[in-house]
A = this chain, B = another copy of it.
Amino acid sequence: MNGGGATTELEGCVVHPDLLSERKKCSFKVADFTRELYGPLHFDILTKLRAALSRNPAFDLRYLWGADGTTKQYVRACWLAEEVVKVIRDLKVMDIEEAIGPLQILAGEDMFVMLHLTMFLPTLKNMCDDEQAQYWVPLAKNFRIIGTYCQTELAHGSNVAGLETTADFDESTDEWVINTPSLQATKWWPGGLAKSSTHCVCMARLRIRGQDYGVHPFIVQVRDLNTHESLPGVTLFHIGRKLGYNSMDNGGAQFRDVRIPRRHLLMKFCHVDRKGNYRQLGNKKMLYGTMTFTRKQIIMAAGPQLAKSVVIAIRYSAVRRQFAMNLKKPEDMMTEKGEEVQVLDYSTQQFTLFPILAASIAYTVSGIWMDGFYADFMREAEKGNFSKLEEIHSVTSCLKATISLAVADGMEKCRKACGGHGYLLAAGIPLQFANFVPVATYEGDRVVLSVQTARVLLKVVQRKMMNKRQKYSLEGSTLEYIHEFDPFQERKPPSLGDEKWSDAEWILHAFRQRSCTLAYKAAQEYTEILGEGKTMMEALDEVKIEFARLSTAHSHVIVLQVFLDAARGVRTPEVRSVWEDLWYCLALSWMDEFFSEFLIGKSLSSDHHESLMKALKSILRKIRPNAVAIVDAFWIPDQLLNSALGRYDGRVYEALVNSTKMEELNRTDVPPGYQEYIQYILHPERRNSRDTVQKEGYTVSKL
């Protein structure tokens, strides 16, 4: 059985027989799976956008294979940017907040326009008071200005309070004066700031009459809207080439006495009047709300990003064949070829790829859930209710930290699973990885974010241990299970034979117990260290390793719960059954990976490992016949996969050979470099001799 949209753009092509037979043997309709995965709203937007982008050459990413320097890539990104803006203008999608996510995925490349949409515009919406919003939001929505979010400095990233850029109030002119007072204060990293943005939200220390009120958001124009030249007092520059993500012009900025009106301070959560009186409004932490919002966006995009790599690896593994299974002796491997097997049939390949496949679905589903959770929170915050602030902070922090790392690692595993050919840019995964991997660092790396997460969990533990009422009701929240846990209960792992690898609730319970054990142990250790007279910051440092592990464990509980709920809610029974297989695959593979933590949590004993591996291997075999159809269901066009190995038609070897036609060095037989250098390696005497003749442009020795 097969069906659905995935084949539309490939009509007329000859599909590799191995993929044809894979697609025949699957147990569900691909289109049903796709609709469940993205949900009705996202699916509609995706369909609309796909249609708009599919025939536009700007969205053909193949040029990336040749990646010839930052300048060319940047100009190409400008082209893509203008086309993205045209699509938005044509389809009038800008009032559909939800389109930004799918658009980001479908554009394939991240560049200034994307950052404008995912950071600048939301910051204006969330930080402007009503009057300010009326002025700025339409300008940004209509791209009459292009903006970015300007926070990180050369010497300060994680430590926001350490930022050095200043905004001093000049009462005489009713203006702020912006300065980067040292080399270290140079703004460094904002995407689009180098060459593209006309404006930025600049985070700077708000000072009035010498008093420092901490870091606040100011809107600062950096380029002339007419000429695009940088404005007086503003020095802008490109911070240089990166491992990937080179379509984005990450920039540096220095400000020298740049004056902006008082009302360019974004005043939703604070207010400064004409006389320089400062007033805080609502919750102070909302001043940093852009980081929470951005983490939410990262979580939403992560699953679909990972999907691209796993689609490539699974399709390629289905057409790549290596070694025969019917040989009598392993020794024969060296001499006999035999009938070779699909690489996807190897247990190790399934063990590597299927948990990543399952994770890419789990993360996609979790992203959609996160988006809804965040929207609920913001609705309440608008009404002045910040009771969920701690939870939203802990959930976005821990999911961002864990998922971004897991996606980067997963991509690299997919790449390695493609063997040698996976290293070619033509394979697609190398640039997907290189472009994605900074996500694991920006907007908070794992250590910093896991401290944030763990502190919220520890508060729950501490209030419980001290028999204090929890600050807010935890019922139905992601923190409830921590509160419910009884640390004093005597625990023993089940006897051998009592483990239940096909009971989702039993498994989830083990995940919760692991997480709770880590939380209560960390809390205990932290309290003990404090008791030894260390400062809170020192004590925090001593349990940071444990915090990072706790944060991962907590994120597993959330993702598995969300994914399980989603799987149970799938309407088509055939698809539901496949989602359940994937759920078990993910849960059991995490149990294997973090097995010792389950032992420490007394959910399992070491003797259970054997049956765990048996259960996992049996799920892998169950998923195997559906694997290709599942990746088809991600419904990612070839154009976006940008991969000779992941093509829908599976004609990988022809595609690889074709890809070499784009390589500059193939324009001539004898390469540049021969005449200048290589000939003198082979014929050193030519360096000191005139005894040479010229032949077809190359110097040749008479000998």
Contact = CB atoms under 8 A, between A and B. Distances in A.
Contacts of A440: 416
Contacts of A441: 416, 419-420, 422-423
Contacts of A599: 596, 599, 606
A462 B438 CA distance: 48
Contacts of A659: 240
A663 B241 CA distance: 7
Interface string A641-669: 00000000000011011011011111001
Contacts of A196: 671, 678
Given A152-B420, A420-B152, A599-B596, A678 B239 contact: no
Interface string A320-338: 1111111111101111110
Given A195-B673, A660-B252, A430 B242 contact: yes
Contacts of A540: 330
A62 to B, nearest CB: 11
Given A595-B596, A599-B596, A681-B143, A240 B65 contact: yes
Contacts of A159: 322-323, 333, 337, 340
Given A419-B158, A441-B419, A538-B325, A228 B674 contact: yes
A145 interface: yes
A448 to B, nearest CB: 9
Contacts of A606: 596, 599-600, 602, 606
A106 B422 CA distance: 28
Contacts of A542: 347, 617
B695 A227 contact: yes
A291 to B, nearest CB: 11
Contacts of A225: 682
B423 A347 contact: no
Interface stretch (A36-44, A69-77, A299-307, A475-483): A69-77
Contacts of A361: none
A496 interface: no
A656 B236 CA distance: 15
A325 B155 contact: no
Interface stretch (A92-100, A181-189, A265-273, A274-282): A181-189
A677 B81 contact: yes
Given A325-B537, A669-B229, A678-B82, A442 B425 contact: no
A348 B545 contact: yes
A239 to B, nearest CB: 6
A249 B672 CA distance: 12
A665 B74 contact: yes
Contact of A75 (B146, B434, B672, B680): B672
A198 interface: yes
A71 B441 CA distance: 32
Interface string A158-173: 1111100000000000
Interface in A559-586: none
B65 A66 contact: no
A544 B673 contact: no
A19 interface: no
A423 B214 CA distance: 29
Contacts of A663: 70, 237-241
Interface residues of A, number: 157
A619 to B, nearest CB: 13
A183 to B, nearest CB: 6
A465 B524 CA distance: 48
A144 interface: yes
Contacts of A382: none
A679 B196 CA distance: 10
A236 B186 contact: no
A685 to B, nearest CB: 11
Contacts of A194: 665, 671
Given A537-B330, A653-B154, A700-B226, A672 B420 contact: no
A522 to B, nearest CB: 11
Given A425-B243, A666-B237, A679 B228 contact: yes
User: Which of A75, A249, A288, A544: most chain B CB closer than 10 A?
Assistant: A75
Given A606-B600, A653-B184, A82 B682 contact: no
A535 interface: yes
A51 interface: no
Which of the listed residues A67, A241, A321 has the most CB atoms from chain B within 10 Å of its own CB? A241
A666 B237 CA distance: 6
Given A113-B681, A327-B537, A672-B74, A657 B227 contact: no
Contact of A71 (B229, B238, B330, B672): B672
A613 interface: yes
Nearest to A239: B660
A638 to B, nearest CB: 18
A545 B548 CA distance: 27
A654 B544 CA distance: 31
17 contacts: A65-B240, A65-B241, A68-B69, A71-B664, A71-B665, A75-B672, A75-B676, A79-B677, A89-B684, A144-B682, A155-B653, A184-B653, A228-B679, A243-B425, A243-B434, A346-B447, A422-B441
For the complex of A and B, list the 10 residue pairs with the smallest distance between their C-beta atoms, beginning with the closest. A78-B673, A68-B69, A243-B430, A195-B671, A78-B677, A595-B596, A596-B596, A599-B606, A75-B673, A82-B677
Given A157-B419, A325-B538, A419-B441, 12 more contacts: A74-B665, A78-B674, A82-B681, A145-B682, A157-B322, A158-B322, A162-B322, A183-B653, A241-B425, A327-B535, A348-B541, A595-B596
